[in-house]
Amino acid sequence: MGEPPWELLRQRQAQCFVNRRAFEMWLHLLTPLRWFAVSAGTLLPLVAGAKILGTPALLGGQYELVSSLCALAASAITGLHAALKCEEHQSECRRMIQVYLSLEAAYQAAEALPDPQIEEELRELEAKFEAAFSGARAAAPTRFQRRAEQELRSSNLAVT
């Protein structure tokens, strides 16, 4: 490779930062939605089953309607959550955050290596980077990628 590849190390560090931050922002949005889906899928059937528990007075005269709507909503929310594979997607997002965080730190640490070791380390890091990129089973939406890029430009990590 000749000269130590400082520019590539910094570019990859920046790419890892952007990818990690995009996943973090995406999860920041998805986590409350997940809690809503899980909670609604648990609590709505409890309300719907109030008659079985002997307390339909909690819902007033519209018990059958409220009970039916709660059961329907719980079924729909739980079904969508499962059909969209939300748990798997969020787990993969958390995994990718850790992968990119690790790679980001490794690229940063590689800058401090003596010149003869940098080329070998870069080859190993590039293989890991490619494996992470090609093996990802989730992607953060483009808008979060753009926000992460803006965050990078406003930080001192920006590649010049």
Domain boundaries, the chain: 6-154
Q: CA Rg, the chain, in Å?
A: 24
**d(C-alpha 59, C-alpha 50), whole Å:** 8
- What percent of the chain shows pLDDT beyond 70? 86
Cβ-contact 58, 50 below 8 angstroms? yes
- Among residues 9, 14, 11, 26, the alpha carbon closest in space to that of 149 is found at 14
144, pLDDT greater than 70: yes
The residue with greater pLDDT, 93 or 156, is 93
Cβ-contact 123, 12 below 8 angstroms? no
Residues 6+ apart with CB under 8 A from 99: 132
104, pLDDT greater than 80: yes
First to last CA, the chain: 21
